Chain A
């Protein structure tokens, strides 16, 4: 019998969280640090993994799927330890509404949903991370756990529109000095060129820390790479057109589709594999993804990977 008590644990009922921190990452991009209240999270038996997402929203507005940019640490009693983060770009109806939220405001989420990045597959191999724009956010937890993954090595190639649009600048500088990840950066429009944006100013310190920022598309960074196809696993996250060309470049270097993983973005309403909006061929992006191998997606219609 279904009672009101079980109804409270229903997959339709969101968990309340308080915004404990707001960080501006780039124009229109903010990271929200959330602390779930009432001890409802993480729900029993569900461990959050990198690459998974929460349906983040507010009642009356709706929900949007947003990947973790900071994982909640496992189950702990100390409440402050339960903080987790989502990095959000103002885009549609829901994210536009979330733009107004400040510290100590309440927000609601359901999750975590989906299958994350298959980090176990990278054990003993070289992990190649290729990201574009906000695509760095879902891979940030992977980079942070990289030292504990038993990797043969890790490389992060990141592309953004302008230097001002590069998110996680402090983290990038930290990773660079940490040495666990090699970092390559490229921007479509270089700082100081004709289309110089106001947000590019004040980047000198960042450039000093990170080294050279190249100009051009992300493929400019992929082509010179020397990779051993059998000993490399690639995680790609960014706009679909960018993931198409990045994955194809890797295949030209001999990698098979099974070793290249991409994170897909589709319209989602439920997150639980019921509403059907996120279908890519036979797969549900929410349930079978959002991380797919290129082999899974090959030949499916309405996908450009």
Chain B
């Protein structure tokens, strides 16, 4: 955070929480506000009408906000009118623009990963693109770390380093002295307008309510980040993991975990912010008047995921578990980065607590 040049600093302002609340509610005139509700590690992103409904101290959510709102669990991509013989795809969502408020750095990085999946390459998905263009992302740097977080290992947190792909970055940098608000402290947030969209939209408004940050504020942020980095409990040699995994595809750690603990229930994949696999199914009305092609989140842990006529390429449970672990920690060739952002959701929501970093560590020994 040090070495900020003057032009960047122009788009930064320190806002007290009550001003932030007013400003976000003003933003609600342009966007459907969506934020974390219910605190701790099991918050949920939901549509809100008032700033107070949100808990910006939340640590994690079950479903990642990016995946939940940009890549819907079930979506109709195509419909076919049988009697007319015509297809229709779309209309592309959404009717209303959405602002995601308080997205943690890991989840912002996950959205950047989904961008690579759905927007880069020869084919861009129109549904994802429409949602992405209509979504205003307000990121929030973390102020605490859970025992399962390992974003620091892949550069996805706890402070957001990406310089584009989102709109606004918030960082809580302390409390306003003397101010009492609703029985609690009035916190102060560093607000950075990152995207052009944000700079145009928020040209004047927040600056009139806040104060210009000073050098000591940036120093304080650096200190807070350094302190956070020390509080991580998970560690893994990310450099060495790639060669170790690929050279030991039948390692006993994989097989033992699969046999003794893995339920093939796909919870890990469902809550993973970067997992993009989906199934495509055709459904026809019983009156046979209309066919609809629907896509639905799918998971490599399903027994039929790699099934073709005449065989299943991942018939064994450990092969399916391996696909998940490898796709997250290895396979950098796919999109030029690892598939994990270190959010720890797959560990937290696994009914039997399978930890992919522990599997990888055992495989590296």
Q: Taking the complex as formed, is B187 at the interface, i.e. its CB lies under 8 A from any CB of chain A?
A: no
Task: Specify which chain A residues have a CB less than 8 angstroms from the CB of B288 in the assembled complex.
Answer: 60
Whether A12 and B78, one on each chain, are in contact in the complex, defined by CB atoms closer than 8 angstroms, is yes
Task: Provide the B299-327 mask, 1 if CB < 8 A to any CB of A, else 0.
Answer: 01000011111100110000100110011
Whether A274 and B117, one on each chain, are in contact in the complex, defined by CB atoms closer than 8 angstroms, is yes
Whether A281 and B331, one on each chain, are in contact in the complex, defined by CB atoms closer than 8 angstroms, is yes
Whether B87 and A13, one on each chain, are in contact in the complex, defined by CB atoms closer than 8 angstroms, is yes
Given A272-B122, A302-B314 in contact, is the A60-B306 Cβ separation under 8 Å?
no
Task: Provide the A1-37 mask, 1 if CB < 8 A to any CB of B, else 0.
Answer: 0101011101111101000000000000000000000
Residues of A within 8 A of B (CB): 2, 4, 6-8, 10-14, 16, 59-63, 91-92, 95, 106, 265-267, 269-270, 272-277, 279, 281-284, 287, 299-303
- Set B123, B323, B332: member contacting A274, Cβ < 8 A: B123
Q: How far is the CA of A2 from the CA of B126 in the complex (A)?
A: 8
Whether B80 and A59, one on each chain, are in contact in the complex, defined by CB atoms closer than 8 angstroms, is yes
Whether B78 and A276, one on each chain, are in contact in the complex, defined by CB atoms closer than 8 angstroms, is no
Task: Provide the B277-299 mask, 1 if CB < 8 A to any CB of A, else 0.
Answer: 11111111000100101010010
Whether A275 and B278, one on each chain, are in contact in the complex, defined by CB atoms closer than 8 angstroms, is yes
Whether B331 and A282, one on each chain, are in contact in the complex, defined by CB atoms closer than 8 angstroms, is yes
- 17 new A-B contacts at CB < 8 Å, known A10-B90, A276-B278, A282-B332: A7-B88, A7-B89, A11-B124, A13-B87, A59-B78, A59-B82, A59-B282, A60-B82, A91-B309, A270-B280, A275-B280, A282-B334, A287-B121, A299-B246, A299-B247, A302-B313, A302-B314
Whether A269 and B80, one on each chain, are in contact in the complex, defined by CB atoms closer than 8 angstroms, is no
Q: How far is the CA of A265 from the CA of B330 in the complex (A)?
A: 23
Task: Specify which chain B residues have a CB less than 8 angstroms from the CB of A2 in the assembled complex.
Answer: 90, 92, 126, 129-130
Min Cβ gap B255→A in Å is 13
Task: Specify which chain A residues have a CB less than 8 angstroms from the CB of B295 in the assembled complex.
Answer: 269, 275
Ranked nearest first, the 4 interchain pairs of A and B with the lowest CB-CB distance are A276-B277, A60-B291, A59-B80, A272-B123
Q: Taking the complex as formed, is B77 at the interface, i.e. its CB lies under 8 A from any CB of chain A?
A: yes
Min Cβ gap B274→A in Å is 11
Q: How far is the CA of A14 from the CA of B79 in the complex (A)?
A: 11
> 5 pairs across A/B with beta carbons < 8 Å?
A11-B123, A11-B125, A12-B89, A283-B334, A301-B323
Whether B123 and A273, one on each chain, are in contact in the complex, defined by CB atoms closer than 8 angstroms, is yes
Q: Taking the complex as formed, is B276 at the interface, i.e. its CB lies under 8 A from any CB of chain A?
A: yes
Whether A277 and B306, one on each chain, are in contact in the complex, defined by CB atoms closer than 8 angstroms, is yes
Which of chain A's residues has its CB closest to B246's CB? A299
- Set A4, A266, A273: member contacting B313, Cβ < 8 A: A266
Q: Taking the complex as formed, is B240 at the interface, i.e. its CB lies under 8 A from any CB of chain A?
A: no
Min Cβ gap A81→B in Å is 25
Task: Specify which chain A residues have a CB less than 8 angstroms from the CB of B280 in the assembled complex.
Answer: 62-63, 269-270, 275
Q: Taking the complex as formed, is B147 at the interface, i.e. its CB lies under 8 A from any CB of chain A?
A: no
Min Cβ gap B326→A in Å is 7
Whether A266 and B306, one on each chain, are in contact in the complex, defined by CB atoms closer than 8 angstroms, is yes
Task: Specify which chain B residues have a CB less than 8 angstroms from the CB of A10 in the assembled complex.
Answer: 89-90, 126
Task: Specify which chain B residues have a CB less than 8 angstroms from the CB of A266 in the assembled complex.
Answer: 306, 308, 313
Given A60-B291, A61-B282, A287-B122 in contact, is the A277-B277 Cβ separation under 8 Å?
yes
Central interface residue in B78, B308, B326, B334, by most chain A CB within 10 Å = B308
Q: How far is the CA of A92 from the CA of B334 in the complex (A)?
A: 29
Task: Specify which chain B residues have a CB less than 8 angstroms from the CB of A4 in the assembled complex.
Answer: 88, 90-91
Whether A301 and B322, one on each chain, are in contact in the complex, defined by CB atoms closer than 8 angstroms, is yes
Task: Specify which chain B residues have a CB less than 8 angstroms from the CB of A61 in the assembled complex.
Answer: 282
